[in-house]
Amino acid sequence: MMTSKKSPIWHPFTQHALHSEMTKVVRGDGAYLHTADGRRIIDAISSWWVVTHGHCHPQIVSAIQEQAGKLNQIIFAGYTHDPAEELAAHLLKVAPPGLDYVFFSDSGSASVEVALKMALGYWHNIGKQRIRIVVMQHSYHGDTVGAMSVGARGVFNAAYGPLLFDVTSIPFPASGREQATLDALESACRDEMPAAFIVEPLVLGAGGMLMYPVWVLREMKRICEASDVLFIADEVMTGWGRTGTLFACEQANIVPDIACYSKGITGGALPLAVTLCHADIFEAHYSKDRTRTFFHSSSYTANPVACAAAKANLDLWQECKYRQRVAAVAAMQEQALEPFREDKRFANVRRTGTITALDLKTSEGGYLADVGPKLGAFFRDRDLLLRPLGNTIYVMPPYCVTGSDIDEIYAAIRDAAHALA
């Protein structure tokens, strides 16, 4: 098939043969995006789950401008700087107590790669041969090779199978079948002596916004602890208030051995990620023997401007009004979602914190369901940024979203079900 090239850009997760025209955005403010042709779009998914307090928040923008005029980049091997030091100290104050060290990277996938390498390095350096990783069915942890390996196998990574390493998968704890998940995890921990278990706490994002209860998360951590298996919490998406608390693990009152945070860490302004771990993992790499060094980096590790943006974002979280906005958005989401629980056109209507999701009843489901692009086009025509996962429609707005914005979003979801019936 010959292409008709209007731009040399190859966009992510985009089939250009079916979606050749890209929406050009020229400005963002609060919960809105403004296009080159003069439209105002409600950002109902926080621009792929990264925007927390709104686009171009003045406090974050100011911090970026100030830092860019001081120091915009420095190698982070053998050097440090105030934005990174201040951010790391602040992160350890707000993260679950017991996480002691902060490793910087620049994407969610990279933070997961770092977590996996930390886990394997820990066991290697203390002289134990534990290399197996346990994962959860339907999980998604990113698109780099290690992150793909611990995610669900399917359309996202079928072409790259030869690159992926083998893992042990336990079933998703669907309602009424939670014990089967816990039994499978207990069996894997006992029989395989794995290095680590990695999981998205409370909500599986790209796997379909699948949600499970707090008590299951708590039990999974208990099982790992009992078998001395490292527990990795991938909070790349679930962190920064999305599930109703700053981090999802807070709700289960658990402390992961390793935690991955990204997306909302800078409020959505710049790419940055961190992997936090407890002291034992750092100590296993601490040695005068240089072969025990943690061999991982990227050129822009702990970029000073990104760190300044993240520090400004964390400062906002210290103000009560921003945490109160999370509760307010969760309440608005629940109220707007309630009528859909009785709507026969939808199934599995669900909410965790500020995230809602519902499945449009169709003849086919899954990420490649034909209804997905049709829904996306319908919402674009309504000036909404909603990007369904196949027949699953989800809403994850910035915390500055208004009640009228929420009403507009759900009115469009109702209308879409009618239009595509």
Domains delineated in the chain: 25-56+319-419 (3.90.1150.10), 60-317 (3.40.640.10)
- The span from the CA of 123 to the CA of 166, in Å, is 18
C-beta neighbour count of 27 within 10 angstroms:
12
Give the N- to C-terminal CA distance of the chain in Å, as an integer: 32
Identity (one letter) of the amino acid at 305? V
Write down the H helix ranges in 104-177: 108-125, 145-149
DSSP 376-397: HHHHHHTTEE---BTTEEEE--
Residue 230 sits at φ, ψ, to 5 deg, of -65, 135
Length of the chain measured in residues: 421
Identity (one letter) of the amino acid at 300? Y
Residue written as tokens 């919490």? 233
Mean pLDDT by 10 residues, the chain (421 residues): 76 88 96 97 98 98 98 97 98 97 98 98 97 98 97 92 97 98 98 98 97 98 98 98 98 98 98 98 97 96 98 96 96 98 97 98 85 94 97 98 98 96 77
- The span from the CA of 22 to the CA of 49, in Å, is 19
Residue 24 in contact with residue 35, Cβ under 8 Å? yes
At 345, which helix (H) or strand (E)? none
- The span from the CA of 44 to the CA of 338, in Å, is 18
DSSP 303-324: -HHHHHHHHHHHHHHTSHHHHH
- Give whole-number Cα distances, 4 to 1, 11, 14, 24, 58, in Å: 10, 15, 15, 18, 40
Identity (one letter) of the amino acid at 400? C
Residue 249 in contact with residue 201, Cβ under 8 Å? yes
- The span from the CA of 197 to the CA of 205, in Å, is 17
Q: If you count DSSP H runs as helices and E runs as strands, how many of each does the chain have, helices first?
A: 13, 16
Give the number of C-alpha atoms closer than 13 A to the C-alpha of residue 278, restricted to the C-beta side: 12
Q: What is the crossing angle of helices 320-337 and 403-419, to 10°?
A: 30
Give the number of C-alpha atoms closer than 13 A to the C-alpha of residue 51, restricted to the C-beta side: 24
**DSSP β-ladder status, 384-385 and 40-43:** parallel
DSSP 392-413: EEEE---TT--HHHHHHHHHHH
Q: Which has the closest alpha carbon to 74: 46, 96, 104, 49?
A: 104
Residue 291 has a pLDDT of 95
The residues that bridge with 41 in the sheet, in sequence order, are: 33
At 229, which helix (H) or strand (E)? none
- The span from the CA of 122 to the CA of 124, in Å, is 6
Residue 3 has a pLDDT of 63
Six-digit token string for 411: 């009115």
**CA–centroid distance for 381 within its chain:** 27
